[in-house]
A and B are shown apart, each in its own frame.
Chain A
Amino acid sequence: MTRIENPGFTDNIIECQNLTIYRDFHEVLHNASCSIPKDSLTFIVGENGSGKTTLVQSILGLLPINEGEMELHSDTEKDLIFGYVPQSVNFSKHVQMTVSEYLKYSASVPSDLIEETLNIVDFPETHLHNRLTELSGGQTQKLLLAAELFRSPDILFLDEPLSNVDNSSEKHIIDVILGIKNQGVSIVIITHDWQMVSSYADHVICLNTNFLCELSSNCICKNSLSKINIKNIQKATPDPQSSHPGYCYIENI
């Protein structure tokens, strides 16, 4: 298994070839290939257990790649800067860290920029001195996002970023995400929210493995996408029964 970092002039920031990844000695991804374009908003979709989080964690280096190759393309000589906001974090109740302390440690945010950093994600000022264990799920997600945005990543991975956020903040968070995409950050979002995919995706990676490789009206991706403004639906695991080039549709389960 190889993970290669090299500067190059491709349209993709990450390319994965024939990845097989295990989690706890159990194979989660088998022979999966996909690519993540630069300066785009890519959604990773799939049923529960299809390997969405596993794929993202292996790209981030949190899980080893058992087989296959992954290429990371940076436009400069420096390594890619990754940003990561998981769906949830269980902060230990034995660490009484405040919001401002977390920003200082995780992203080296100076004291005079803390409020401004939190304002970007609509984090309530009244909770600035709260401890991490006192925050709600949505407040935690906003805090984690604020820290990652301050670090100016080249590629930002978000796992269900709106799952704990209230309706009034949802639009704001989406605007923030689109804003940083326009600044040249590649965004990858794991989601089950098909409306979000329909509305904003430039690129979709589907990890479902139940499919029939023929053009069919029974396609979960096709049926779930109300707008035809998606440039690519990329099927990560190819249909072994067919040699169709391009992309495969999958059976509606």
Chain B
Amino acid sequence: MKIFNMELFELFTIPFMIRALVGSILLSLLFGLFGTFIVPRRVSFMADGISHASLLGIAFGLFIGTYPLIYAFLAAAIFGFILAKVSEHSRITEDGLIGILLTGGMSGALILLSFVPGYKPELFSYLFGNILSIQWVDLYILSGFFVITCIILISQWRTLVMSTVHPDLARVLKMPIKRTRYFLFIGTAIALIAGVKLLGVILVSALLITPVLAANQIGTSFKSTIFLTLLIGIVGSVTGLIISYIFDLPSGPSIALTLVLIFIASLFYSSLPKQKKLNS
């Protein structure tokens, strides 16, 4: 199939596109797995909160003139820990705490950035994403994080599921829900920063939330919903990436919009009468 005098398959031979596609797939899988347990806990806002608050880490890195993403990871991990710890026992609701972290982190970031002289083009790429700048070393780190996440998820799978579906019973059964909670929040926070490269701070929450919500419209069991979440994430991010390359559009918003369109399609599908769904 030719698009603008170029065969579509040629896209998959360009090195930076290969890296971008592999990165998209890995991030879709990570976000799909975390999102499955984050969205039902009604902390979806966490994605926005953590990604915006991590700007504090990015601003600090720019301020001292070193690799900002390392400090963004650190800030995200700390905020994830605070979220897991404080919301456990206090009178503050999780969404309230996320709001405080978001505004606190953003405010701190803007103040720090006011001390950094000159135009900051890297800031633009963190805000809106630049998947095409992903390097092989980034992919190796992401792959390692993905493998570690899968190992921990498999070992904690039953606890994660039961603490999401019936938290009281999980505690009666003496499952290690506290440890699992910390893993979930800190792991999601770190994955969110990895996703900042793809979608940017402003839109990274789209990859965490939208596939889960779309899959919930179509899935008929827990197992099928997880599979659909991962599939929708991959299809949405790969399609959005290809569209952004072909039409020279920003990658982050293209992916986010593609996911939103898939969600709208899933809503339409779920509103069909049952018989029509079965026939289709």
Residues of chain A with a CB closer than 8 A to B41's CB: 92
A101 adjacent to B223 (CB under 8 Å): yes
Is A105 in contact with chain B by the CB < 8 A criterion?
yes
Closest CB of chain A to B45's CB: distance in Å?
14
Chosen A-B contacts, 26 in total, with CB atoms closer than 8 Å, are A24-B91, A57-B168, A61-B171, A61-B172, A61-B174, A62-B171, A62-B172, A82-B172, A84-B169, A84-B172, A89-B168, A94-B39, A94-B40, A94-B212, A95-B40, A96-B220, A96-B224, A96-B225, A97-B165, A97-B221, A101-B221, A101-B222, A105-B158, A105-B165, A131-B221, A132-B165
In the bound complex, CA of A105 to CA of B160 (Å)? 10
The residues of B with any CB-CB pair to A shorter than 8 Å are 39-42, 91, 158, 161-162, 164-166, 168-169, 171-172, 174, 212-213, 216, 219-225
In the bound complex, CA of A101 to CA of B41 (Å)? 19
Q: How many interface residues does A have (CB within 8 Å)?
A: 26
Residues of chain B with a CB closer than 8 A to A84's CB: 168-169, 172
Is A46 in contact with chain B by the CB < 8 A criterion?
no
5 further interface pairs, Cβ-Cβ under 8 Å (given A62-B172, A84-B172, A129-B221): A86-B168, A94-B213, A95-B164, A95-B225, A98-B222
Which chain A residues in 69-108 approach chain B with CB under 8 Å? 82-84, 86, 89, 91-98, 101-102, 105-106
A106 adjacent to B162 (CB under 8 Å): yes
Which chain A residues in 128-157 approach chain B with CB under 8 Å? 129, 131-132
In the bound complex, CA of A57 to CA of B224 (Å)? 34
Residues of chain B with a CB closer than 8 A to A94's CB: 39-40, 212-213, 216
Interface majority SS on B: helix, strand, loop or mixed? helix
A106 adjacent to B166 (CB under 8 Å): yes
B171 adjacent to A97 (CB under 8 Å): no
**Which B residue sits closest to A105, measured CB to CB?**
B161
B225 adjacent to A91 (CB under 8 Å): no
Residues of chain B with a CB closer than 8 A to A24's CB: 91
B172 adjacent to A96 (CB under 8 Å): no
Is A215 in contact with chain B by the CB < 8 A criterion?
no
**Which A residue sits closest to B37, measured CB to CB?**
A95
Contact of A93 among B162, B216, B222 (CB under 8 A): B216
In the bound complex, CA of A134 to CA of B268 (Å)? 20
Is A1 in contact with chain B by the CB < 8 A criterion?
no
B168 adjacent to A95 (CB under 8 Å): no
